């Protein structure tokens, strides 16, 4: 389950809630203050309240554009078989969270690229409307600002480095070329780090190259953006390595062999069956032939030897949750999703090969296999 952002729900898109996070309020205040001097220069006789209203109108226009960007991601993600969990407007603009396994590079690229393309289309629309204006007015200013901001957001997000959308397109390209999504993630992650470093260097070096001193305000913003890109790229690389670890997870490498005994078997029957097959786990079937549970060796050993032949194996049984059988060919994230749905807190689950119970799966072994290195 994806952890949902905190915030105010303002609607639903693609079956998912649309959230405005508290950090958006900070962004709105900062952007309103930053755009106010532009409005003041354009309309020097406008009162302060009017300047702030126009500035805030620009902020709403900008975040409406960001919202369209995220809606495009959400609709294409759902169309490609993903479950959309949320759309959120945040300090850095917004994000769309979706869950499910992306199977093909094409799907990943389509979901990523549609967001920036939406902004470029909006930029073109705003520019056409601006070009149709016959006088320098506040609406014309807002249309020009909408065209510029959408063009910038679209072009910036197409830069080929994670966590930007262009980085996901690059990841998909390397994935398609090499057959390894992890290689794509690592390549796009390193490019994303380079883009973050380049933003900071641009703010510092470009003014010096043109004979000017770096502007402290610009450098601070560049540092924030660079840190965001570096951190996002690093996190994406960590997730990529983690995903590769999960992809190697499979039932066959973790299963413990088991022998089955029918309903009505005794503790003595279970013990003989286990010894005959090399002390394997013992699964008891119910009257329908379905796995009812596994025999706890300690509970079975506690039954006196002279009573084992008359004691039902069910007395030492640890029941399986209903419908919890795991197929021996399950692997990767799908295996974890299956276990999350059916385990119900059980420690051991039955494993079947072509419908026949052949083993048991210790959930603790699965947890150990997916635990990050250094935390075992």
pLDDT tens string for the chain (376 positions)? Answer: 456 788 899 999 989 999 999 999 999 999 999 999 999 999 999 999 999 999 999 999 999 999 999 999 999 999 999 999 999 999 878 899 988 778 899 999 999 999 999 999 999 999 999 999 988 899 999 999 999 999 999 999 999 999 999 999 999 999 999 999 999 999 999 999 999 999 999 999 989 888 889 888 889 989 999 999 999 999 999 999 988 888 889 999 999 999 999 999 999 999 999 999 887 899 999 999 999 999 999 999 999 999 999 999 999 999 999 999 999 999 888 888 889 888 888 999 999 999 999 999 999 999 888 876 544 3
Q: What angle do CA 286, 291, 292 make, to 5 degrees?
A: 60
End-to-end Cα spacing for the chain: 23
Q: What is the pTM of this model?
A: 0.77
> Which 3 state secondary structure label does DSSP give 191?
helix
Q: Give me the helices (H) in the chain, please.
A: 22-42, 48-79, 105-131, 138-157, 165-178, 181-209, 216-247, 267-276, 297-301, 332-342, 363-370
- Buried/exposed 94-126: b ≥16 CB within 10 Å, e otherwise: bbbbbebebeebebbbbbbbbbbbbbbebbeeb
Q: Give me the helices (H) in 179-215, please.
A: 181-209
| Distance, CA of 313 to chain centre | 45
pLDDT for 1: 44
Cβ neighbours, 10 Å, residue 171? 30
185, 237 contact by CB (below 8 A): yes
360, 258 contact by CB (below 8 A): yes
Alpha carbon distance 286, 345 (integer Å): 21
pLDDT for 318: 96
Name which of 350, 341, 362, 337 is nearest 253 in CA terms. 362
pLDDT for 109: 97
Which residues are within 8 A (CB) of 68 and not within 5 positions of it... i.e. 6 or more apart?
A: 118, 119, 122
């Amino acid at each position: 389950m994806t952890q949902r952002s905190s915030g105010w729900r303002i609607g639903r898109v693609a079956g998912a809630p649309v959230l405005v996070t508290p950090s958006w309020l900070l962004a709105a205040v900062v952007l309103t203050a930053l755009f106010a001097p532009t409005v003041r220069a354009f309309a020097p006789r406008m009162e302060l309240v009017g300047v702030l209203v126009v500035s805030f109108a620009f902020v709403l226009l900008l975040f409406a554009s960001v919202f369209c960007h995220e809606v495009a991601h959400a609709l294409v993600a759902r169309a490609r078989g993903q479950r959309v969990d949320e759309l959120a407007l945040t300090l850095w603009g917004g994000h769309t969270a979706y869950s499910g396994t992306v199977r093909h590079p094409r799907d990943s690229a389509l979901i990523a690229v549609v967001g920036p393309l939406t902004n470029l289309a909006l930029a073109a629309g705003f520019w056409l409307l601006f070009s149709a204006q016959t006088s320098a007015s506040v609406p014309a200013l807002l249309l020009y600002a909408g065209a510029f901001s959408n063009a910038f957001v679209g072009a910036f997000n197409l830069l080929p480095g994670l966590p930007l959308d262009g980085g996901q397109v690059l990841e998909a390209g390397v994935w398609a070329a090499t057959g390894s999504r992890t290689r794509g993630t690592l390549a796009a992650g390193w490019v994303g780090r380079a883009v973050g470093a380049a933003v900071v260097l641009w703010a510092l070096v470009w003014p010096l190259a043109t004979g000017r001193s770096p502007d402290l305000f610009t450098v601070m913003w560049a540092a924030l953006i660079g840190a965001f890109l570096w951190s996002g790229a690093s996190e994406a690389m960590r997730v990529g390595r983690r995903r590769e670890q999960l992809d190697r997870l499979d039932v066959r490498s973790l299963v413990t062999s088991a022998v089955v005994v029918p309903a009505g078997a005794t503790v003595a029957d279970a013990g003989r069956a286990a010894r005959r097959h090399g002390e394997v786990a013992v699964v008891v079937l119910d009257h329908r032939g379905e796995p009812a549970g596994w025999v706890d060796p300690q509970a079975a050993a506690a039954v006196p030897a002279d009573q084992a032949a008359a004691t039902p194996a069910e007395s030492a049984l640890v029941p399986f949750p209903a419908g919890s059988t795991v197929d021996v060919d399950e692997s990767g994230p799908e295996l974890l999703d299956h276990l999350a749905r059916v385990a119900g807190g059980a420690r051991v689950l039955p494993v079947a090969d072509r419908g026949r119970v052949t083993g048991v799966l210790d959930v603790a072994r699965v947890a150990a296999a997916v635990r990050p290195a250094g935390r075992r």
